[in-house]
Amino acid sequence: MNITKSLVILVVVSFFSCVTPRGTFYKGFDPQKITIISVGEFKPYGNYISSGELVKNLMIEHLLKRGYIVKEENSADVEYVLTGSVTRFLPEKKYLVYTGTEKQQVMIGGPLTEISGSYVYNIGSAFGIPDSQVVATNSTVGVSARLVEKKTGNVVWTSSFVYEALTVETAADVVANYLITSLTGKKGK
């Protein structure tokens, strides 16, 4: 096999190994035996109290899309409980930057701070304000999750994922989809 062909295969394998959802399963646990599941608490991130509920609702949505029966945790026939915590929840931000005219100093409306690991976009000029720009940053959402067998209390699966997107809703949805795919082995519809 020539070197070019070997490199192409290596790049393709590396790419697909990076996007395949992964999680850690308890030895011998078969995720295909999950039929009835509950989604418990997802602890919120910092002062973003609604972040836990947002992630919980998205987890329920992605389980339902894959055909699972989702019930409240106190239901007698619940076999597994999915819980976790929101490890990052940084909504997108927009800033108005006024650059002034030739001899004026640059003025910035509000403090601008570099956000490591986030993309920053220049959206364009602000309507009705000459010599200005609107700058926006991506949002970032991270979630750590685990599946507990209700009758034994054993943790049978765990995984975590962080994603950056234009809006916090999109980032949270991608994270929930990734984690549910990792757990069930079934891709979302």
- Give one DSSP letter per residue of the chain, joined into a string: --HHHHHHHHHHHHHHHHHS---EE-TT--GGG--EEEEEEEEPBTTBTHHHHHHHHHHHHHHHHTT-EE--TT-TT--EEEEEEEEEEE--EEEEEE---TTSPPEEES-----TT--EEEEEPPTT-TTEEEEEE-EEEEEEEEEEETTT--EEEEEEEEEEESSHHHHHHHHHHHHHHHHHS----
Whether pTM exceeds 0.85: no
The tens-digit pLDDT sequence of the chain (189 residues) is 455 544 444 443 444 444 566 778 888 888 888 989 999 999 999 999 999 999 999 999 999 999 999 999 889 999 999 999 999 998 877 666 666 665 554 555 555 555 555 566 556 666 666 666 666 678 899 999 999 999 999 999 999 999 998 889 999 999 999 999 999 988 876
